[in-house]
Structure 1
Amino acid sequence: MKLNIQFWLKFSLLNLCIVAALGVLMRYKIGFEFPYFNQKNILHSHSHFAFSGWITHTLMTLMVYYLQNKTADFQVHKYRKILIANLICSYGMLIFFIFQGYGMISIFFSTASILVSYVFGYYYIKDLRKLDANFAAINWFKAALFFNIISSFGTFYLAYMMASKNVIQDLYLASIYYFLHFQYNGWFFFGCIGLFFGFLNLKKSEHSFYETSFKLFAVSCIPSYFLSTLWLDLPVWLYAISVFAAVTQVFAWFKLLVILIQTKKAYLKNFAPLLRYILLFSCLALSIKFILQLGSTIPSLSQLAFGFRPIVIAYLHLVLLAVITLFLLFYIYASHLIFINKKIKIGLVLFSIGVLLNELVLAIQGVASFTYTIIPYVNELLFVVALILLLGIGFTSYFSIKKVKNNPPL
C-alpha cells in the first residue's frame, strides 16, 4: 500500500495559504491601525508554522513519495502517523503562539514537533538503506535529516536560557542563528537538492561531481554557520574557515549548475514553460543567495547586514520564498502530483510576481536603511505585495484542491 500523496499535498497548499494570510495580517498591523493580537506572537506563529506546517510537512511528504516509488515492500502506516503527528503539532503552534506567545502549550507543541522529526529521521534513514546506493539523492536526504536534528540543539539551548532566566544577548542571538542556519542551509536546502536529484533520477556513476558536490556542501555546512556570527568578533582562524566554506559553496553550486544545464537541459524542455521559468527563478535566487553569503564575509558588510532588520528579513524571505517555496511548487506540479491547469497557472504567476516584488521592496528598504532614508509608503507597499502573495497562492490552492478531488489517488 502506498501513501496518497495528493491528499497530503492538499494540507501543504492550505498551510502555505495560512502562512501568507498571517503575513498579510502582520503587514496590515505595521501599516495601519489594528489593535487585536500581539505582533510578536503573530510573528512566532507565522515563522513556526511556515517551517513545520508548510516546508517540513511538504518535504516529508515528497521524500516519502520518492521512497515509496523506489521500494517494493513499502510500509506506509508509520509515515502516515508521522505526518498526522507533525500536522497536529503545526496547528498547535499556529494557534497557541498567536494567543500566548512562548507559553507552556506552544512550547509543548514546538518540542513535540522536534521529537516527531527525530522519529521521521530514524525511520527514513533506515528505509533508505534498502535502495540502490548508486542513487545520487540518497546522501542528500541523509544529510538533510542530520542537519534537521542538530538544528534543534539551538532551540533547546534557547529554552534552557529562558528556563534558567540567564539570557545572554550574544548567545541568545547565536542560538537563533544556529537554528535558522541548519534549517535553511541544512534541512531545507539538502532536502530540496535531494528531491531535485531524485526528480532528474541522477546516479552517482553518471558524473563524478554529483557525489563531489554533496561532499563539498556537507563538509562546508557546519563551518558556514559562523558566517551568521561574524558580529561576535570571532578568532581569525574561525573567520578564515567560514570564508573558505563560503567560497567552497559558491564553487560547488555554480559547477553543479553548469553540469546540470549541460546534461539535463533537453529533459527539462519537456515541462510547461511556466514551470521551467519558476525553476529558473528559484535557481537564480539560490545563486544570489550564495553570492550574498560570500559577500557577508567582508566584516563591514556583515555588520551592516546584521545591523538592519529589513536586510535580514529580505535575506530570509529570499531563501524561504524565492528558493525553497518556488522549488517545492515546481516539484509538485512538474511531477504531476497535482495536475496543472490554466487557473492554477494564473495563481502561480501571481505568486511568483509577489515573491519578486516582495524581494525588490525589502531590498530597497534595506539599502535605504543604510543611510537612514525613509521610503514613502513602504509599509503600505509591502502590505499590497503580501496581498498579491496571498491571492496568488490562494488561487493556486483552491483550484489545485478542487482539481485533486476529480483525480484518482496515486
Structure 2
Amino acid sequence: MGKNLFNSTRWIQIALINFSVVALAGITLRYKINFPLPFFNQKNVLHAHSHFAFTGWVTLVLIALLVNYLQQQKIKTNYNKYHWLLLANCIVAYGMLISFTVEGYAFYSILFSTLSIFISYFFIFYYWQDLSKVKDNSYAPTWFKAALILWAFSSLGAFSLAFLMANHINVQELYFGSIYFFLHFQYNGWFLFVCFGLFFSFLAQKKIALLDSINKKIFLMMAITVVPTYFLSILWLKLPFSLYVIAGFSGILQMFVLFYFIKLLILLKGNIIQNFTSKYLLILASTAFIIKIILQLLSAIPYLSNYAFSYRPIVIGYLHLSFLGIISFFILAYINEVLIAQGRRLSKTGVLIFTSGVILQEIVLMIQGLEAMEFKPLPYANLILFFLAIVIGIGISYIALTMDKLSTRL
C-alpha cells in the first residue's frame, strides 16, 4: 500500500461484516433465553457481544471514516499507519470476541481489552497531529478533537472495570459505576461527537449557509453537559444532593441541544438529501436522538429513574436506541451518501429489513418495560425478540455482503 493510499471502502466493508457478527452474537443471546444452549455461558457471550460491537463495528468504521475525512481534506500524511492501526484493532476485536465467549473476564479477555485501549491511544495521538493540518470552516475538527478526548476519558471506566473483575472485587456500586462511565463517554462522547462532526462536514461540502451559529451552539451545549450527564446514569447510587442537582440541571441544559437540533432540521427542510435510503436513515437517527434527549431528562425524576435502572428490558432498549437507532443508522446514512457521490449505494432492501427489525425490537422492549409498571405482559415477548434479532442479522448481513458489488473504493 502506497504512502498516501488508504482503502476506506475495504475497511468499511470489514466493519459491516463485523456488524453482522455482532448481530449473530445477539441472535445467540436471544436463542439461549428461549432454548437450551449449554455449551455457551450467557454472561460470557453478552460481554463478547458488547465488546466486539464497540471495537469491531463502531470504532472500526468511525476510524475509517475519520481517515477518509483527512483524504477529503487532501491532508498529506503517511496513511499506512492508519491501515496498521485498523488491522491491529480488528485483530484485538476478534481476540475479545473469542476470549470473552470462552472464559469471560479472565487473563486473555482483559489482555485484548487493554490492547484495544492502547491502540486507541496511538490513533488519538496520530490523528490529533493530522487534524491540526486541516483547514475546515465546518467546525468538524473541533467535534473530532472533543471526540478523541472523550474516547481517551472513557478508558478510565474500562480500566476500573478490568481491575475490579481481575481482583474479584464484587462491589455492585463500583462495578456498575465503571460500566456506565465507559458506556456514557463512548455513546455520548466518542461516538456521538464524531457523528456530529461528520454530519456538519457533509453539510459544509454541500455549501449549506446559516449553519455555523447552530453548529457551535450545539457543540457548546453538548460539551458542557457531557460530563455532568454521566450522573444521570448513576442516580440509583443515592448520590449527594449537590450531584443530583447537577445531573438534573445538565438534563435540562440538554433540552437546549434538542431546541437547536430541531431548529437545524427545520432549516435544512429535508431538501439537502435526495436519496430515499439516506434520508430515511437520517430521519430515524434524528428521531432516536430526540427521544434519547427526552428520556435523559425524564430519568432525573426519581420515580422513573427507579424503573429505568432496575428493569433490564428498559436498559437494553435505551442502549440499543443509542447504539443502533442513533449511531448505526447515522453511520449507514453517511456511508451511503459517500457512495452515492461515486454513483453507488448501499442496499435499500437490506437497510429496510435491518431498520424494521430494530424499530420493532425497540417497541417490544418498551412494552416489556411497561410490565414493571404493572402493565399486562406481552405474550411470547422473548420469542418475538429472538425472531427480530434474526431479522436484524439478515438485514445487516445483506448490506455487508452486497456492498462489494456496489462499491470498490471511496
**Alignment TM class, shorter chain as reference:** over 0.9
Other-structure match for 1:249: 254
User: Counterparts of 1:301 and 1:398 in 2: how far apart (Å)?
Assistant: 42
Q: Give the conservation status (yes or no) of the 8 Å contact 1:141–1:194.
A: yes
Q: Are residues 1:388 and 2:391 paired? A: yes
User: Counterparts of 2:211 and 2:64 in 1: how far apart (Å)?
Assistant: 27
Q: Could you tell me which of 230, 233, 251 is aligned with 1:225?
A: 230
Q: Are residues 1:73 and 2:65 paired? A: no
User: Counterparts of 1:264 and 1:74 in 2: how far apart (Å)?
Assistant: 38
> By how many angstroms is 1:131 displaced?
1.1
> By how many angstroms is 1:282 displaced?
0.7
Q: Which stretches of structure 1, 4 residues or longer, exceed 6 Å deviation after superposition? A: 202-205
Q: Could you tell me which of 200, 203, 210 is aligned with 1:200?
A: 203
Gaps of 5+ in 2: none
Other-structure match for 1:344: 347
Q: Give the conservation status (yes or no) of the 8 Å contact 2:75–2:134.
A: no
The alignment's C-alpha RMSD in Å is 1.9
Q: Give the conservation status (yes or no) of the 8 Å contact 1:71–1:130.
A: no
In the TM superposition, 1:159-174 aligns within 5 A as 159-174=162-177
Other-structure match for 1:21: 24
Q: Could you tell me which of 230, 235, 241 is aligned with 2:240?
A: 235
Equivalent residue pairs, number: 404
Other-structure match for 2:332: 329
Other-structure match for 2:120: 117
User: Counterparts of 1:135 and 1:232 in 2: how far apart (Å)?
Assistant: 40
Q: Are residues 1:266 and 2:264 paired? A: no
Q: In the TM superposition, what whole-angstrom CA distance separates every residue of 1:24-51 from its partner, at most 9, and x where no partner exists?
A: 1111110122222111111111100000
Gaps of 5+ in 1: none
Percent identity of paired positions between Structure 1 and Structure 2: 45
> By how many angstroms is 1:317 displaced?
0.5
User: Counterparts of 1:339 and 1:82 in 2: how far apart (Å)?
Assistant: 29
User: Counterparts of 2:235 and 2:268 in 1: how far apart (Å)?
Assistant: 38
User: Counterparts of 2:212 and 2:337 in 1: how far apart (Å)?
Assistant: 24
Q: In the TM superposition, what whole-angstrom CA distance separates every residue of 1:81-120 from its partner, at most 9, and x where no partner exists?
A: 1111100110111111111111211111110000001111
> By how many angstroms is 1:67 displaced?
1.3
> By how many angstroms is 1:158 displaced?
1.8
The letter for the 1-side match of 2:365 is L
> By how many angstroms is 1:133 displaced?
5.5
Q: Are residues 1:356 and 2:359 paired? A: yes
Other-structure match for 1:182: 185
Q: Give the conservation status (yes or no) of the 8 Å contact 1:348–1:392.
A: yes
User: Counterparts of 2:43 and 2:164 in 1: how far apart (Å)?
Assistant: 19
Other-structure match for 2:219: 214
Q: Give the conservation status (yes or no) of the 8 Å contact 1:158–1:175.
A: yes
In 2 relative to 1, CA 128–169 (structure 1 residues): closer, same or farther, beyond 3 Å?
same
The letter for the 1-side match of 2:70 is L
Q: Give the conservation status (yes or no) of the 8 Å contact 1:68–1:74.
A: no
Q: Could you tell me which of 17, 34, 42 is aligned with 1:31?
A: 34
In the TM superposition, 1:299-338 aligns within 5 A as 299-336=302-339
Other-structure match for 2:292: 289
Mean alpha-carbon deviation: is it higher for 131-140 or for 7-16? 131-140
The alignment's TM-score, normalised by the length of structure 2, stands at 0.94
User: Counterparts of 1:72 and 1:106 in 2: how far apart (Å)?
Assistant: 36
In structure 1, the residue corresponding to 2:271 is in which secondary structure?
A: helix
Other-structure match for 2:56: 53
Other-structure match for 1:12: 15
Q: In the TM superposition, what whole-angstrom CA distance separates every residue of 1:333-383 from its partner, at most 9, and x where no partner exists?
A: 111178656x81111100010010010011101111332753221111001
In 2 relative to 1, CA 339–397 (structure 1 residues): closer, same or farther, beyond 3 Å?
farther
The letter for the 1-side match of 2:195 is C
Q: Could you tell me which of 104, 107, 120 is aligned with 2:107?
A: 104
Q: Give the conservation status (yes or no) of the 8 Å contact 1:339–1:400.
A: no
Q: Give the conservation status (yes or no) of the 8 Å contact 2:143–2:219.
A: yes
In 2 relative to 1, CA 366–150 (structure 1 residues): closer, same or farther, beyond 3 Å?
same
Q: In the TM superposition, what whole-angstrom CA distance separates every residue of 1:217-272 from its partner, at most 9, and x where no partner exists?
A: 0111000000001111122221111112111122123313312431463322xx31
User: Counterparts of 2:95 and 2:405 in 1: how far apart (Å)?
Assistant: 26
Q: Give the conservation status (yes or no) of the 8 Å contact 2:221–2:256.
A: no
User: Counterparts of 1:78 and 1:41 in 2: how far apart (Å)?
Assistant: 33
In 2 relative to 1, CA 339–13 (structure 1 residues): closer, same or farther, beyond 3 Å?
farther
Mean alpha-carbon deviation: is it higher for 61-70 or for 256-265? 256-265
In structure 2, the residue corresponding to 1:336 is in which secondary structure?
A: helix
User: Counterparts of 2:55 and 2:226 in 1: how far apart (Å)?
Assistant: 21
In 2 relative to 1, CA 94–166 (structure 1 residues): closer, same or farther, beyond 3 Å?
closer
User: Counterparts of 1:390 and 1:327 in 2: how far apart (Å)?
Assistant: 18
The alignment's TM-score, normalised by the length of structure 1, stands at 0.94
> By how many angstroms is 1:199 displaced?
1.4
Q: Give the conservation status (yes or no) of the 8 Å contact 1:333–1:339.
A: no
User: Counterparts of 1:205 and 1:127 in 2: how far apart (Å)?
Assistant: 28
